[in-house]
């Protein structure tokens, strides 16, 4: 079947990248849809359509859908309703079958509910869907396809889970699909030089912080699987030779630095290519590994510190102490790697005091950029289960009417409104410190790429502040009634 991999439009123009959050971001970040594109690489006669990046209206998507037999649509917890509406319209305009994919629909109760809720969704491919969708596109009988949920004579059937892909080297590269189908110049992350691209060198996770992370919990597994260093080198080389406009490569998997020796092998191979790259890292990379990363072109590491409270870190099984975090940041500064730190506000055990301590911890480490996010309890995670059991979930809408992230829970000592306001205020307090402003402008004037990056981020954040900054301080209070409808 001729197959369209669709990252759908959204009425609020929110980001639909699935990797992290689905919302309108402070700095206008937009990632290429790596999972859709990677799966498309395994399906002949397919195309990836990112409606938001291509600035396509609803009617444009419906027109494009007419040319395909199978529509594979990326769906997230915050976008189920508009995706179902789009599916209904697609059915009215074409005879295509529709298959939902993504972490949200990989949770079996939600896959079951969507198939019961609407007759317009034909299939759901759960968890890693590369081969599930390929077999569907090849015309294999649905009841023979592992990892597939579907409707049969009025019954909802869920085939057995598909085993996770063990040999990732057998998958085609994603970047040729990016180049073929996507407007790469549109994608931006304020931490990265523009234009950038992404690579996953691994799937799965070895670490225990599955409490809040839905990715290993419900989608790509807790067993770490890695591409060989030679295979990673070949894709980096392909980008270097075929996407010459690329200024930076982001290794966007949960933790690129999982196995230091493997990282060092990759560094030794890509060093001669003279590329600039960044990665998601864990705050315990050995100093010698950091040195080799820097020598191989690493500019920035994105690190989840989450909290400065030891008890909260213990609850979420972070597995990294505060002392180790501080040493890691010092080591990065010694070798010249920038650190973007991310914190979650609202994890169990959070108080006004623990929030303030996290802010002081971030300023003491003198991070190069920061992100204070509302902790989001995605379905399938232990965080979601905890809040549901305690009767603390207040809403099922992860974004508000403006596409902005909102807390859907409260605690006895802190409301969701207070958690949201704290997230916004901490961000502003960190960014408008004289020390941070001076350091950022000094970096901006170090070279043209950094100047473009910094001033673009400043423009986007100023726009966000004008659009939403005052609103968050005037948010209406929430009812304490639990209104979960999913």
Domain at 39, CATH number: 3.40.50.280
Mean pLDDT of 376-381: 82
Q: Would 479 be classed as within a structural domain?
A: no
Tell me, yes or no, if the pTM score tops 0.85: yes
Task: Give the model's pLDDT for residue 27.
Answer: 54
User: What SS3 state is found at 3?
Assistant: strand
Mean pLDDT of 184-202: 92
Residue 247 sits in the same domain as residue 307: yes
**Using only C-alpha atoms, what is the Rg of the chain?**
22
Q: Would 178 be classed as within a structural domain?
A: no
Closest CA relative to residue 73, chosen from 110, 25, 40: 40
In contact, 45 and 436? CB cutoff 8 Å: no
Give 205's pLDDT tier (boundaries 50, 70, 90). Answer: confident
Residue 107 sits in the same domain as residue 221: no
289-315 per-position pLDDT tens digit: 999 999 999 999 999 999 999 999 999
Write out the residue range of the structural domain in which residue 56 sits. 3-153
Mean pLDDT of 452-460: 69
Mean pLDDT of 48-66: 92
Residue 308 sits in the same domain as residue 406: yes
Q: Would 169 be classed as within a structural domain?
A: no
Task: Give the model's pLDDT for residue 459.
Answer: 62
Task: Give the model's pLDDT for residue 474.
Answer: 36
Closest CA relative to residue 265, chosen from 240, 244, 236: 236
Q: Would 121 be classed as within a structural domain?
A: yes
Q: Which residue has the tokens 């896959």?
A: 111
The Cα–Cα gap between 382 and 376 comes to: 11
Residue 472, pLDDT > 60, answer no
Last residue of a domain, one of 153, 170, 204: 153
Q: Would 200 be classed as within a structural domain?
A: yes
Mean pLDDT of 135-163: 95
The Cα–Cα gap between 409 and 478 comes to: 10
Task: Give the model's pLDDT for residue 190.
Answer: 83
More confident residue, 289 or 380: 289
Q: What percent of the chain has pLDDT over 70?
A: 86
More confident residue, 15 or 370: 370
> To 5 degrees, how large is the angle CA 247–CA 252–CA 255?
130
In contact, 119 and 31? CB cutoff 8 Å: no
Residue 226 sits in the same domain as residue 149: no
396-427 per-position pLDDT tens digit: 777 766 666 778 899 999 999 999 899 989 98
What total of structural domains would you count in the chain? 2
Residue 228 sits in the same domain as residue 294: yes
Residue 194 sits in the same domain as residue 94: no
Cβ count near 144 (within 10 Å): 9
Residue 94 sits in the same domain as residue 210: no
Task: Give the model's pLDDT for residue 446.
Answer: 80
Q: Would 158 be classed as within a structural domain?
A: no
More confident residue, 215 or 81: 81
More confident residue, 216 or 242: 242
In contact, 338 and 345? CB cutoff 8 Å: no
State how far the alpha carbon of 328 is from the alpha carbons of 28, 286, 365, in Å. Answer: 29, 8, 10
Q: Would 182 be classed as within a structural domain?
A: no
Residue 65, pLDDT > 70, answer yes
Q: Would 165 be classed as within a structural domain?
A: no
Residue 230 sits in the same domain as residue 97: no
162 DSSP 8-state letter: P
- Burial of residue 289 (number of CB atoms within 10 Å: 0-12, 13-18, 19+): buried
């Amino acid at each position: 079947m001729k197959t369209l991999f669709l990252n759908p439009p959204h009425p609020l123009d929110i980001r639909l990248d699935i990797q992290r959050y689905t919302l309108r971001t402070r700095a206008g970040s937009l990632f290429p849809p790596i999972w859709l594109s990677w799966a498309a690489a395994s399906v002949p006669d397919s195309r990836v359509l990112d409606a938001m990046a291509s600035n396509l209206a609803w009617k444009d998507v419906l027109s494009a859908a007419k040319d395909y037999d199978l529509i594979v649509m990326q769906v997230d917890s915050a976008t189920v309703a508009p995706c179902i509406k789009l599916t209904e319209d697609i059915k009215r305009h074409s005879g295509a079958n529709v298959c939902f994919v993504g972490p949200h629909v990989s949770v079996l109760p939600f896959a079951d509910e969507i198939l019961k809720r609407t007759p317009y969704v034909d299939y759901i491919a759960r968890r890693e869907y590369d081969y599930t969708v390929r077999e569907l596109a090849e015309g294999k009988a649905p009841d023979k396809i592992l990892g597939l949920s579907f409707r049969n004579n009025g019954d909802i059937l869920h085939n057995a889970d598909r085993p996770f892909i063990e040999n990732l080297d057998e998958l085609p590269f994603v970047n040729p699909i990016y180049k073929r189908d996507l407007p790469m110049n549109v994608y931006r992350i304020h931490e990265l030089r523009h234009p950038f691209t992404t690579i996953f060198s691994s799937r799965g996770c070895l670490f225990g912080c599955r409490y809040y992370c839905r990715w290993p919990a419900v989608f790509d597994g807790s067993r770490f699987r890695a591409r060989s260093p030679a295979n990673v080198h070949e894709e980096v080389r392909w980008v270097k030779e075929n996407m010459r406009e690329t200024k930076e490569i982001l290794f966007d998997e949960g933790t690129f630095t999982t196995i230091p020796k493997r990282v060092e092998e990759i560094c030794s191979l890509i060093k001669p290519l003279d590329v600039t790259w960044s990665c998601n890292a864990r705050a315990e990379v050995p100093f010698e590994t950091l040195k080799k990363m820097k020598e191989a072109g690493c500019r920035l590491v994105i690190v989840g510190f989450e909290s400065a409270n030891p008890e909260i870190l213990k609850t979420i099984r972070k597995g990294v102490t505060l002392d180790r975090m501080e040493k890691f940041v010092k080591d990065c500064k010694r070798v010249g790697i920038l650190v973007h730190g991310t914190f979650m506000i609202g994890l169990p055990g959070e108080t006004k005091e623990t929030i303030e301590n996290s802010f002081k911890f971030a300023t003491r480490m003198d991070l190069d950029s920061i992100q204070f996010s509302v902790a989001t309890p995605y379905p399938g995670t232990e965080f979601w289960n905890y809040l549901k059991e305690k009767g603390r979930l207040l809403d099922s809408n992860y974004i508000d009417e403006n596409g902005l992230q909102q807390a859907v829970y409260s605690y006895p000592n802190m409301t969701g409104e207070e958690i949201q306001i704290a997230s916004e205020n901490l961000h502003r307090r960190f960014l408008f410190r004289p020390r941070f402003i001076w350091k950022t402008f000094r970096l901006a004037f170090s070279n043209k790429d950094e100047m473009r990056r910094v001033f673009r981020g400043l423009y986007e954040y100023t726009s966000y502040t004008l659009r939403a900054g005052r609103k968050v301080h005037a948010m209406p209070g929430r009812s304490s009634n639990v209104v979960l409808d999913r």
